[in-house]
Amino acid sequence: MRVRFAPSPTGTLHIGSARTALYNFLFARHTGGSFVLRIDDTDAARSDAALEASIMTDLRWLGLAWDEGPDVGGPSGPYRQSERLERHRAAAAELLAAGRAYRCFCPEERLEELRREALAAGRTPRYDRRCLDLPADEVRHRLDAGEPAAVRFKVPSGEVVVDDLIRGRVVIGADALSDPIIVRSDGVAGYNFATVVDDRDMGITHVIRGDDHLTNTARQQLLFEALGAPVPRWAHHSMVLGPDGGKLSKRHGATAVGDYRELGYLPEAIVNYLALLGWSHGEDEVLELERLVRDFDLGRLSPSPAVFDLAKLGWLDHERIMALAPQEHERRFAERLPAGTPAQAAAALAAAFQPSLVRYGDAPAAAAEVLAPPPPPPDLRAAALAAEPQLAHVRALRAEAPEWLTPAGARELLAAYRAWGKEQGIGARALLMPLRIALTSAEHGPELPFVLAALDRETALARLDHTLAGPGESTPKPGDQP
């Protein structure tokens, strides 16, 4: 089995394209076949080496390693279409010699006029075959004179039946097809023809891609047959739609894999989620890559569109975060925090927010709730100030403690504080709520032991002193001396 993923380096890796790459990868690994990466860069004006590099970076980040490709080589190279132009031209010459293709001299202006007329009449735009029956002598004379000419494939009449591994028998009517340009007048092959020639030369056995390619598939199947090449098995999975039912686009938020990496999602969560979009997999939802490889089956992919649910991705990412080893979670959390954040603070906050964190991109805002809170609203500050005896006592406890508390040490301090409060007949809420307000300017947030462990002694005392001083004092910053 040989499959390929063939992105165009004219943009970044879209989340829908990543799903296509994933399905090809899973199929190759499940069957023990080869996964080929080919770069379809024949659009020279828009192709960009930097975009090619970013696509490869994103695929590697997702863990989708390829067996053959432009960077690793292989027996079927080269793996950039721009380096295969002579192969495309040679194949076009075969079709011209066999009478399966013809030269077209129609200028772009005429083709655009045909297109406008068809659309105005409510018809599918089709080439009118004006150049199909030009005498051979005229064609040769015009070519010798240097007149630009494209090469068109002569589409045979009748329906095209595509035997699809996901959708079953798909019939493409003849009206949907027109004689496609297989080589432009500049000598560069068009998409459909270059794809067929390269798939043929690379021995691709299965083509797995989105159902927006079905019409292209009909043309390509005819081209394979005209070239006398084996037709690969087709599998057209569903498209990924936005929550509003439209094609997933930037209006729905992030759409590029790189965007999700910057937002702090784990690659394992994205792979897990993309695999489940349109794949029936029973009740299990949190699946490792090894399990996905083992269970992958093209026949279980749904032909119905899949809706991208950011909340579901967030849930999966949270599950992955909770499963990380503490040290790995702490590293990932800390690397998102501002430079200079003390390691003790980062470790405490990582532990504090792990139960609620959806993605690591939220770490800075979460940490700021403790490290750089805004001034408390007047009503909360008044409530904290009313608990002056409690705050004064806990201040004394914190002043005698080490510069940094571990969460365990903070629990011991709070236990002593609560024991004092019990002696004074003060309830837990009246003890802890004013302390939380003084330290974070909020009534709710992460557990207090983690808050105390995230603040060095001087910062904690400065915030307590600020609250005890009453209205009119400026809000202390982290590290302010008491």
**pTM here?**
0.90
- Which residues are registered as beta bridge partners of 4? 36
Contact criterion met (CB below 8 Å) for 482 and 462: yes
User: pLDDT-based confidence at 283, cuts 50/70/90?
Assistant: confident
Res 198: pLDDT: 98
Residue 425 included in any domain: yes
Neighbours of 334 (CB within 10 A): 18
Across residues 297-320, what is the average pLDDT? 94
Q: Which of 323, 356, 381 is the last residue of a domain?
A: 323
Contact criterion met (CB below 8 Å) for 434 and 394: no
Residue 227 included in any domain: yes
Tokens 């013809």 sit on residue: 102
Q: Do 342 and 430 share a domain, yes or no? A: yes
Q: Could you give the CA distance from residue 57 to residue 119 in angstroms, rounded to a whole number?
A: 41
Q: Could you give the CA distance from residue 205 to residue 233 in angstroms, rounded to a whole number?
A: 6
* Phi, psi of 198, rounded to the nearest 5 degrees: -70, -40
Neighbours of 322 (CB within 10 A): 11
User: Can you give the CATH number for the domain in which 153 is found?
Assistant: 3.40.50.620
Amino acid present at 213: H
Q: What residues are labeled active site?
A: 250
Say whether the peptide bond before residue 449 is cis (omega within 30 degrees of 0): no
Q: Could you give the CA distance from residue 391 to residue 294 in angstroms, rounded to a whole number?
A: 59
Residue 72 included in any domain: yes
pLDDT digits (tens, 9 = 90+) for 322-353: 999 999 999 999 999 999 999 999 999 999 99
User: Can you give the CATH number for the domain in which 266 is found?
Assistant: 1.10.1160.10
Q: How many domains does the chain fold into? A: 3
Contact criterion met (CB below 8 Å) for 203 and 1: no
Residue 104 included in any domain: yes
Q: Which of 296, 323, 350 is the last residue of a domain?
A: 323
Q: Could you give the CA distance from residue 377 to residue 7 in angstroms, rounded to a whole number?
A: 53
Whole-number percent of the chain with pLDDT over 90: 89
Residue 226 included in any domain: yes
Q: Which of 323, 346, 368 is the last residue of a domain?
A: 323
Residue 243 included in any domain: no
User: How many residues would you count in the chain?
Assistant: 482
Residue 385 CA, chain-centre distance (Å), reads 49
- Which residues are registered as beta bridge partners of 3? 35
Tokens 């939802």 sit on residue: 285
Q: Do 43 and 192 share a domain, yes or no? A: yes
Residues 6+ apart with CB under 8 A from 222: 153, 155, 156, 160, 177
Q: Could you give the CA distance from residue 37 to residue 328 in angstroms, rounded to a whole number?
A: 31
Q: Do 79 and 206 share a domain, yes or no? A: yes
Q: Do 288 and 343 share a domain, yes or no? A: no
Would you say residue 447 has pLDDT above 60?
yes
Res 478: pLDDT: 52
User: Where is average pLDDT lowest: 212-226, 328-342, 372-386, 462-476?
Assistant: 462-476
Contact criterion met (CB below 8 Å) for 55 and 12: yes
Would you say residue 280 has pLDDT above 80?
no
Q: Do 360 and 274 share a domain, yes or no? A: no
Q: Do 428 and 362 share a domain, yes or no? A: yes
Res 481: pLDDT: 43
CA-based angle 422:425:430, to the nearest 5? 85
CA-based angle 410:412:418, to the nearest 5? 105
Would you say residue 482 has pLDDT above 50?
no
Would you say residue 269 has pLDDT above 60?
yes
Would you say residue 294 has pLDDT above 70?
yes
Q: Could you give the CA distance from residue 116 to residue 118 in angstroms, rounded to a whole number?
A: 5
Q: What is the SS3 assignment for 283-310?
A: CCCCCCHHHHHHHCCHHHECCCCEECCH
Pairing of strands 2-5, 34-37: parallel
pLDDT digits (tens, 9 = 90+) for 193-248: 999 999 999 999 999 999 999 999 999 999 999 999 999 999 999 999 988 888 88
Domain extent at residue 22 = 2-238
Neighbours of 56 (CB within 10 A): 19
pLDDT digits (tens, 9 = 90+) for 37-66: 999 998 888 999 999 999 999 999 999 999
User: What is the residue-averaged pLDDT of the chain?
Assistant: 94
Res 471: pLDDT: 67
Q: Do 205 and 301 share a domain, yes or no? A: no
Q: Could you give the CA distance from residue 478 to residue 317 in angstroms, rounded to a whole number?
A: 31
Would you say residue 475 has pLDDT above 60?
no
Q: Could you give the CA distance from residue 57 to residue 261 in angstroms, rounded to a whole number?
A: 11
Q: Do 481 and 398 share a domain, yes or no? A: yes
Residue 245 included in any domain: no
Q: Do 188 and 260 share a domain, yes or no? A: no
Q: Looking at 145-296, list the stretches that DSSP marks H as alpha helix, in order from N- to C-terminal side.
A: 191-201, 214-226, 257-262, 267-276, 289-295
Contact criterion met (CB below 8 Å) for 50 and 89: no
Q: Do 355 and 318 share a domain, yes or no? A: no
Contact criterion met (CB below 8 Å) for 375 and 451: no
Residue 328 included in any domain: no
For 20, the token pair is: 């296509």
For 123, the token pair is: 């018809």
User: Can you give the CATH number for the domain in which 481 is found?
Assistant: 1.10.10.350
Q: Do 411 and 449 share a domain, yes or no? A: yes
Q: Do 213 and 348 share a domain, yes or no? A: no
